[in-house]
Chain A
Amino acid sequence: MLLSIRSLTKVFPGTLALDGVDLDIAAGEIHALLGENGAGKSTLIKCLTGAYQRDGGAITLDGAPIDPKSTGQAQELGIGTVYQEVNLLPNLPVAQNLMFGREPRRFGLIDSRRTRAEAEAMLRQYGLGIDVGRDLGTYSVAIQQIVAIARAVSLSGKVLILDEPTASLDRREVEMVFDVVRDLRDRGLGIIFVSHFLDQVFELTDRVTILRNGRKIVTERTANLDRMSLIEHMLGRALEHEVTGTATDGEIKAPMLQFDGIGRAGVIQPFDLTVGQGEVVGLAGLLGSGRTETAEMLFGLRQSQDGQARDADGPLDLRNPRAAIGAGFGFAPEDRKTDGIVASLSIRENIILGLQARRGWSRPIPRAEQNRLADDYIRKLDIRTSDREKPIGELSGGNQQKAVLARWLAMNPRFLILDEPTRGIDVGAHAEILRLIEDLTAQGMSVLIISSEIDELVAVADRVIVLRDRRHVAELTGAEVTGDRIMRAIAADDEAAA
C-alpha cells in the first residue's frame, strides 16, 4: 500500500470528529472519499495534509510512519492537495505560480526566462500549451485547477488529494480535469477524490470509502456499488426501515405563497413552489444539491434572475432580505454561529434584534418591553439560561437555536425558512424544536425546512421537495412522504425522476 491509515482518531471539544478510521490508498488508484456534512471527510484530509494533528492512530506512507506538522511538511513527504477554491495566486503569472519557491536563479536573482521555460515544459506534460506569462486569474477555472494539480504533483508526487475539485466546473471542463487525473493514476500516483457529485464518483474512481459521523462505514470497489446502496451508506438508513409521517393525508391547505420561475444560472434551475397556509414544506437532497441556494433565493439573499413571488394580494418584492422580512418572511440560516447569532450580545439583545431592526434604530424598543419579550420567549421556548442578560455564545447549540427562532417569532412572520434547524443539537432539544414547528404551523404559520436527516423531514413535513444537482427533481405529498420515497428520489437517475 502506498498510503495506509490505521484507526485514525481526532477529537474536538465535545465531538469525536474521527473515530478509528482505517483507509488504504494504493499506487495507481483513484479512491473516492464520501460522506455528508460532518461525516469527517475534511477532518481526515486535514490530518493527512498536516493542517490538523491527529489524536490517535498511525499513518504510513511507502511503509514509513509519517506525522506531518504542516501543509509544507506534508508536501515534502509527498502528499499534495488541490482544493475546490483554487489555492493559487490569481494575481501572479502562471509560471510564477507553478515554480513558486523553486524559481531557478542566476546570481541570486530569479531567472525569469528559465522559470517560464520550465513552467511551459511542466504544463506540456498535461497537454496544456498556454502562455505562462499571463496572470493565472485570466484563465478559466478548469485551467487554474489543472495548474494547481501540476504544482501539487511536481511538489509532492506520491499522493494527490483532490478536495471537491470540480464543484465550479462545467461538463466539458470536468472532462478536461478528469483526463489529467486519469493520466496521473496511470503514472502511479495514489489519488484521493472527494466529491459530492455521485455521477463523477462512478465515472472516475476505482474504489470508494464512505464515512459517517466520524466512522468508516465501508470501503468497496466502485463497480460493486450502485447509487442506492451508496446513498444508503451515506445517509445511514436502510430502505426497509419505514417511518410514517404526521403528514395529514389529503388535506389540501389553502395556498398562501406562490413562487414562479425562481432561479439563477449556475446556482439553481428555475423552479415553481407553492406554500400553503400552515404547511410544512421540506427540502431534501444531498450536500450541494441546491437546498440552501433555494432558501437563500426565496429570502432575497441571492437574486433570482427571473420569475416572481406573489400572495393572495398580489406580487411580492423579494429584492433583498429586508424586503423579504417586510413581506413577512423569516430565515434561520444553516451556520448558526456565523450567520445566526451575535455571540457576544445577550439573549435579550439577540431576541429583539430583528424586531428592532424593523422598527428602525431611531425608535428603540423600551427596555421594559424588551425584558418582557425576552422573558416571554425564554419561558415559551424553554431556553435554558440563568438569566436573559447572558451572552448567547455561552449557551448550548440547542438553546442558541431556540433564541434564533425566538427572534423570528417575535416578529410574527407568516413564512419561516429553517435551514438545518437541528444540526449540532442534542436529542432532547431536537424533539422540542420539531414540536415547536408543529405548534407554529397549527397557528397558521408556514414553514420551509431544509434537513439532511430524512427521518426528521418525514416526521415534520406535509410535503417534501427533493433536489438533485441544483434542480428540483421530485415532489412528494401526503402519504408519499416516506423515507423510502425520498431516498429513491435522491438516488434516481434523471430519466426515472422525470
Chain B
Amino acid sequence: MNTRALPLYATIAIFLLAYLLAWTQFPNILSTRVVGNLLTDNAYLGIVAVGMTLVILSGGIDLSVGSVIAFSGVFIAVVLRDTGLHPLVVFALLLLLTTAFGAGMGFLIDRLAMPAFIVTLAGMFLARGAAYMLSIQSVPIQHPFYQTLQGAYYLMPGKGRLTLIGVLMLLVVVLGMVIAHRTRFGASVYALGGGEQTARLMGVRQGRTTVLVYAFSGAMAGLSGIVFSVYTGSGYSLATVGTELTAIAAVVIGGTLLTGGAGYVFGTLVGVLTMGLIQTYIVFDGSLSSWWTKIVIGLLLLVFILLQKGLLKLSGSRLAGGAA
C-alpha cells in the first residue's frame, strides 16, 4: 500500500467512526435532512477549500480567501442594489475579478520570489478593505433570481433537501479531483510542492503554474462568495473572518501535507464534512458550548500533524534502511 494515501484513509476512518458514534447517540443524525444540511451549510467552505488544496499542494498558502469571500458578497449585493444587471452577469464579472486578483498574487509570488504568506496576507487586507469601501453595513439581496437560487433543491427521500449550492460544492470537488490528478497542470502542482528546484529541472513551467494555481484559488474564493451570498441572502464586509484558516484546517485534516506535494482533493471534502459533523453534533447535543467545535478541530489538527510527521519519519527511516 502506498504510504501517501494513509492520511486519506485515516481521515475517512475518523469521519466514519465519528459519524457512527454520533449515530449511536442521536440516530437522527443519519437522516437525509442532516446530510443535506451538512452539504448546504458547508458548501462555501468546501468550495474555497478545494482551491486551497491546490495552493497547499503546490507548496504555497492563500490567506486572502476569507476576505475575498466577504468582498464577493458585498460586491454582488451593492451592484445588484445600484444597477439593473442580472445576477448571472454580476457573477461573471465577480469571477473575472477574483480570478485576476488571485493571478496577480501568483504573479507577485513568482516574479518577486516573495513568500506566498506575505503576499496573500497583503491580499487579505486589500480585499477586506475593498469590501469595507463598498459598504460597511450588511446589504440585503432582494433580487427575484436569488429567491429562485435559494429555492432550488431536490427533495431526497426522508425529506432531506439536496440544495443547489450543496450540489455545486460536490461538483467543484470533482472538478478539483480531475484537475489535480488527471491533468499535466495538476502534475506540475504536485511537482512544485515536492521541490521547486527539481520541478524546474524536470521541465515544470514554474511561473505559469504558480500564477494558475493562485488564479484557481481566487476563482474558487469568488465562487464561494457567490454561494455564501446565496446562503445568507446578503453581503456583509465583516463576514467570513478567519475562513481562510478554517479552510487550511480542513485541507490538513483531509490529509494534505502542509508543506506541499502530497494529498488528495477528496480528502479535503472529508475534512470539511468532519468539521461540519462536529458542529452538527454540538447542535444536536444542545448543552455543549459551540466553542467545543474549535477545541475538537484543534485537537484533530494536532492529531493529523502528528500523523503526517510520523509517516514522514517512517518513510524516511525506510529509505535510510534501504540505502544502508
Contact = CB atoms under 8 A, between A and B. Distances in A.
A135 B4 contact: yes
Interface string B227-269: 0000000000000000000000000000000000110000000
Given A92-B187, A134-B2, A100 B315 contact: no
Residue with the greatest number of chain B CB neighbours at <10 A, chosen from A90, A108, A112, A168: A90
Contact of A170 (B201, B315, B324): B324
Contacts of A133: 2
Contact of A96 (B187, B200, B262): B187
Interface residues of B, number: 29
Interface stretch (A60-68, A138-146, A230-238, A373-381): A138-146
Contacts of B178: 109
Nearest to B200: A71
A138 B315 contact: yes
A112 B182 contact: yes
B318 interface: yes
Residue with the greatest number of chain B CB neighbours at <10 A, chosen from A71, A89, A90: A89
Interface string B289-316: 0000000000000000000000000010
Given A91-B4, A100-B191, A140-B319, A71 B201 contact: yes
Interface in A406-443: none
Contacts of B199: 89
B315 A89 contact: no
Residue with the greatest number of chain B CB neighbours at <10 A, chosen from A96, A139, A140: A140
A72 B203 CA distance: 6
A170 B323 contact: yes
B315 A266 contact: no
B184 interface: yes
A498 interface: no
Given A92-B190, A138-B3, A140-B319, A110 B198 contact: no
Contacts of A368: none
A353 B324 CA distance: 39
A138 B178 CA distance: 25
Residue with the greatest number of chain A CB neighbours at <10 A, chosen from B193, B195, B197, B201: B201
A110 B262 CA distance: 18
A19 interface: no
A141 B319 CA distance: 8
Nearest to B179: A109
Contacts of B261: 89, 91-92
A266 B324 contact: yes
A120 to B, nearest CB: 17
B158 interface: no
A103 B4 contact: no
A101 interface: yes
A101 B198 CA distance: 13
Interface in A349-377: none
Nearest to B323: A141
A110 B323 contact: no
Interface in A93-107: 93, 96-97, 100-101, 103, 105
Contact of A265 (B184, B195, B202, B324): B324
A442 B187 CA distance: 63
A169 B193 CA distance: 26
Contacts of B276: none
B107 to A, nearest CB: 21
A105 B184 CA distance: 9
B322 interface: yes
B197 to A, nearest CB: 8
A481 B6 CA distance: 59
Given A92-B190, A92-B191, A169-B323, A100 B3 contact: no
Contacts of B182: 109-110, 112
Given A71-B200, A89-B261, A138-B3, 5 more contacts: A91-B262, A100-B203, A101-B203, A110-B182, A133-B2
Q: What 7 pairs between A and B have smallest CB-CB spacing? A: A140-B322, A89-B194, A91-B261, A91-B194, A109-B182, A101-B203, A141-B323
Interface of A: 71-72, 75, 87-93, 96-97, 100-101, 103, 105, 108-110, 112, 133-135, 137-141, 168-170, 173, 265-266
